[in-house]
Amino acid sequence: MHMGEIRGLDRPGRQMTTGEMSREHQVSLRTLRFYEDRGLLHPLRDGVSRLYSNHDRLSLRFILRCRRLGFTLSQIHDMLDKQLFEGETPGLDLSRDKKVEAQITHLERRRREIDEALTELRRYE
Amino acid sequence: MHMGEIRGLDRPGRQMTTGEMSREHQVSLRTLRFYEDRGLLHPLRDGVSRLYSNHDRLSLRFILRCRRLGFTLSQIHDMLDKQLFEGETPGLDLSRDKKVEAQITHLERRRREIDEALTELRRYE
DNA sequence: TTGCTCCTCACGTCACGTGAGGTGGC
DNA sequence: TTGCTCCTCACGTCACGTGAGGTGGC
């Protein structure tokens, strides 16, 4: 029994270290620790080192998806809490969240602002 | 001779206080001081109070226009410096700045990201 | 005295980046 | 000893917001 087995390197679906989480999801170690500090991730501890479960992995993917959609970490935190409260696996219920509609409105306004800026910038070319 | 005349309240084109600058351009006092701290504005001093000249007003309008176009304060600083170096009145030379093309590219990418996010969000509605 | 305007710190926000300095196992 | 991975502070970035605490002239 060597470290590879203990840390889950050759058993997908088991515990992962920060380094593995970082590489697999293309996020920095700092980001993983920051999300933990903000209560978005809750890795276990192997002494002083972090160990991420399969649930943590699903949470991280949900976080990254929501981030691409332009939600703040605070909003993402609420959504994860709500999912936990309703006993769900993270990442399934975006369609039932009120925040979706508000975010669409928000992004449409951002888009109009960018379009106006582009129109003006192209006049300067 | 009362304060209205000294401070330029009834003589447009003369010195303005922070309060007047703030109201006329819809920016906070903090913003005006922040722009000064970053070297974008250079008001004179009447003792401890700031006095903004007509040149400062043109600079501020240029700053606000560039901000709407999505430039960073650091980029705007460079543009103002360049204009000063070339002996121009602030706000005239945007069409000759190399930054315009890069900013168009940047905003077009931001727009695509927003479009992708909107497409995904609308699927959840 | 009240009320308005001006001021200077200086901490808080957002989502991290970036060292500094140290540990543990091969 | 070198090299890799993990860790904890803690300051820096961006563009300000937001008090705290004080001044000056009507």
| Whole-number pLDDT of residue B9 | 38
What span, in angstroms and rounded, lies between the C-alpha atoms of A33 and A29? 6
Q: Compute CA distances A86 → A41, A89, B84, whole Å.
A: 17, 9, 61
**B6, B34, B50, B54 from B1: Cα distances, Å:** 7, 33, 20, 21
Chain B contact present for A107, CB below 8 A: yes
A49 forms bridges with which residues in the sheet?
A46
Q: Is the CB of A65 under 7 A from strand C?
A: no
pLDDT of residue B12: 52
Print pLDDT tens along chain B (125 aa). Answer: 333 333 333 345 689 999 999 999 999 999 999 999 999 999 999 999 999 999 999 999 999 999 999 999 999 999 999 988 888 888 767 777 788 999 999 999 999 999 999 999 999 88
One-letter amino acid of A34: F
Write down the mean pLDDT value for chain A. 88
Nearest residue, CA→C1' of C25: A3
Contact of A125 with chain B, judged by CB distance below 8 Å, is answered with yes
Q: Does A108 touch chain B (CB under 8 A)?
A: yes
B95/A124 Cβ within 8 A: yes
φ and ψ at B112, to 5 degrees? -65, -40
**What is the Cα–Cα distance from A52 to A48, expressed in whole angstroms?**
13
The angle subtended at Cα A12 by Cα A62 and Cα A69, nearest 5°, is 15
Which residues 6+ apart lie within 8 Å of B115 measured at CB?
A: A111
Alpha carbon distance A58, A44 (integer Å): 15
**CA–C1' A46–C24 (A):** 13
Interface contacts A/B by beta carbons within 8 Å? 66
Where are the extended beta strands (E) located within A18-60?
44-46, 49-51
Per-residue pLDDT of chain A (125 residues; tens, 9 = 90+): 333 333 333 345 689 999 999 999 999 999 999 999 999 999 999 999 999 999 999 999 999 999 999 999 999 999 999 988 888 888 767 777 788 999 999 999 999 999 999 999 999 88
pLDDT tens column, A18-54: 999 999 999 999 999 999 999 999 999 999 999 999 9
Chain B residues closer than 8 Å to A111 by CB: 111, 114-115, 118
CA distance B7 to B77: 27
DSSP assigned state of A19: H
User: Among residues 24-63 of chain B, which lie with CB inside 8 Å of chain A?
Assistant: none
Quote the pLDDT of residue B11: 46
CB A56 within 8 A of CB A49: no
Q: Which residues in B lie closer than 8 A to residue A115 (C-beta atoms)? A: 111
Residue nearest to nucleotide D5 (CA to C1'): A19
The residue assigned the tokens 């005006």 is B32
Nearest to A107 by CA among B65, B7, B114: B114
A67 nearest nucleotide via C1' and CA: C15
Cβ(B40)–Cβ(B76) below 8 Å: yes
A34 CA: nearest nucleotide by C1' = C16
Chain A CB contacts of B94 under 8 Å are 124
pTM: 0.87
Q: Which residue matches tokens 């940047």?
A: B106
Instruction: State which nucleotides on strand C lie below 7 Å from a protein beta carbon.
Output: 5-8, 10, 14-18, 25-26
Can you tell me which residue has its alpha carbon closest to the C1' of nucleotide D18? B30
| Alpha-carbon span B7 to B3, nearest angstrom | 6
Secondary structure of residue A79 in the 3-state scheme: helix
